[in-house]
Amino acid sequence: MSQILLQKEREETGDVDVTLKVMFCGICHSDLSNINNYWGFSNYPMVPGHEFVGIGTEVGKNVSKFKVWDRVGVGCLVGACHSCDNCSRDLENYCPKPIFTYNGTYYDGSTTYGGYSDIMVANERYVVRIPDSMPLDACAPLLCAGITVYSSMKYYGFCEPGTRLGVVGLGGLGHVAVKFAKAFGMNVTVISTTPNKEKDAIEHLGADTFVVSHNQEQLMAVMGTLDGIIDTISVPHSLLPLLGLLKSDGKLIMLGLPDKPFEVPVFPLIFGRKTVAGSAIGGMKETQEMIDFAAKHNIIADIEVVPMDYVNTAMERLAKGDVRYRFVIDVASTLSKIA
């Protein structure tokens, strides 16, 4: 397991920056991939964390959206070029020069450090307001998991009542995907490797159907019925059975980020006019829209709050899929105990 460092010192609050005291930070599967260098672009020392919330403690003199004591959050991005076509369309997430919240390179060439940390300084464009009605701890995962599933659903048209959506992998992203999908009024089928998640998926999360991905009979019952699928599996896997679940013109949207490429079966794509595509987090305007939508529909993550000194154990458990459904670090209360 790679070392997790504590970042105690940040740059000062600039004219357009918000400084926040970090209260809670979610643990995304991407943190696990980054600290272990599964994708091959990790830089150490690394301070992970890209879904965190806290309280504004200082604002720069030109900050217009926030003031001290505001409840705020930061997601996967802290900067972009702000001059490309994507940035001009509020799609900072597809800027060719994005600055990721950690393991990224800031404008001045310095390395960015994330939310497993006591404070954060971020340009106000990359800060979102957390409505008073939302609990800070269970809201934190929405800054990555929430926006990733919400943005993909909006862009690919999976937000109309009655649309039949499949959600593959009931983990951090998957469980909030079910919640957003139900709030959009869709009919949701969960496709999971873990049979004992069925009761929770149906009775607690509100899914309509649960399919165990290695149960041929259950798969056959859903064949050709889905308009779209959101795939959150973090390892290479066969797409053939998933493409079979789609109707003609159906779309399979990849959100999971396996470390290796895998095969796309061409015949079922062509003879069914099906699409395989991807989606990455969301722009900042849409991230605020997602948080406001979540507040309106009472959507929060199901979390297990852990102290900072539990992070390595949490990573080991996350690697085994042993979490219901997101670890969130209680940063503010527990960081000082190990610092």
**DSSP three-state, residue 134:** coil
Query: Residue by residue, what is the 3-state secondary structure of 165-216?
Result: EEEECCCHHHHHHHHHHHHCCCEEEEEECCHHHHHHHHHHCCCCEEEECCCH
When the beta carbons of 60 and 171 are compared against ligand NAP, the nearer one is 171
User: In this chain, which residue has its C-beta nearest to Zn ion?
Assistant: 28
The least CB distance from residue 71 to ligand NAP, in Å, is 23
Residue with tokens 């509020």: 90
Treating both helix axes as pointing N-terminal to C-terminal, what angle do 172-183 and 284-296 enclose, rounded to 10 degrees? Answer: 70
User: Mask of contacts with ligand NAP, 263-292, x by CB under 6 A?
Assistant: ----------------xxx-----------
Q: Which two tokens stand for residue 302?
A: 């199901």
Residue with tokens 């672009």: 41
Residue with tokens 């940040």: 10
147 binding partner (options Zn ion, ligand NAP, none; Cβ < 5 to 8 Å by kind): none
When the beta carbons of 19 and 234 are compared against ligand NAP, the nearer one is 234
Contacts 24+ apart (CB under 8 A), 77-85: 77/101, 77/126, 77/281, 77/284, 78/104, 78/106, 78/112, 78/122, 78/123, 78/126, 79/104, 79/106, 79/107, 79/123, 79/126, 82/125
Is residue 299 within 8 Å of residue 180, measured between CB atoms? yes
When the beta carbons of 186 and 281 are compared against ligand NAP, the nearer one is 281
**DSSP three-state, residue 128:** strand
Binding test (CB under 6 A) with ligand NAP, winner from 65, 237, 247, 285: 237
Binding test (CB under 5 A) with Zn ion, winner from 144, 243, 311, 328: 144
**Is 5 one of the binding residues for ligand NAP (CB under 6 A)?**
no
The least CB distance from residue 156 to ligand NAP, in Å, is 13
Q: Which two tokens stand for residue 49?
A: 């964390």
Q: Nearest-5° angle of CA 170, CA 318, CA 94?
A: 70
Binding test (CB under 6 A) with ligand NAP, winner from 2, 5, 16, 33: 33
When the beta carbons of 19 and 30 are compared against Zn ion, the nearer one is 30
When the beta carbons of 173 and 311 are compared against ligand NAP, the nearer one is 173
Give Cβ neighbours of residue 209 (< 8 Å, ≥ 6 apart).
187, 188, 189, 190, 222
Binding test (CB under 6 A) with ligand NAP, winner from 169, 228, 241, 250: 169
CA 170, 176, 182, 185 torsion-angle sign: negative
Interatomic CA distance for residues 260 and 277, integer angstroms: 16
Binding test (CB under 5 A) with Zn ion, winner from 13, 19, 30, 234: 30
**Is 79 one of the binding residues for ligand NAP (CB under 6 A)?**
no
**Is 128 one of the binding residues for ligand NAP (CB under 6 A)?**
no
The least CB distance from residue 169 to ligand NAP, in Å, is 3
**Is 241 one of the binding residues for ligand NAP (CB under 6 A)?**
no
Binding test (CB under 6 A) with ligand NAP, winner from 101, 163, 234, 288: 234
Residues pairing with 210 in the sheet = 190
189-228 residues in contact with ligand NAP (CB under 6 A) are: 192-194, 197
105 binding partner (options Zn ion, ligand NAP, none; Cβ < 5 to 8 Å by kind): none
The secondary element (H helix, E strand) that includes residue 18 is: strand 17-27
187 binding partner (options Zn ion, ligand NAP, none; Cβ < 5 to 8 Å by kind): none
Site size for ligand NAP (CB under 6 A): 29
Contacts to Zn ion by CB under 5 A:
28, 30, 144
In the complex, the residues that contact ligand NAP under the rule CB under 6 A are: 28-30, 33, 144, 148, 169-174, 192-194, 197, 232-235, 237, 255-257, 279-281, 318, 321
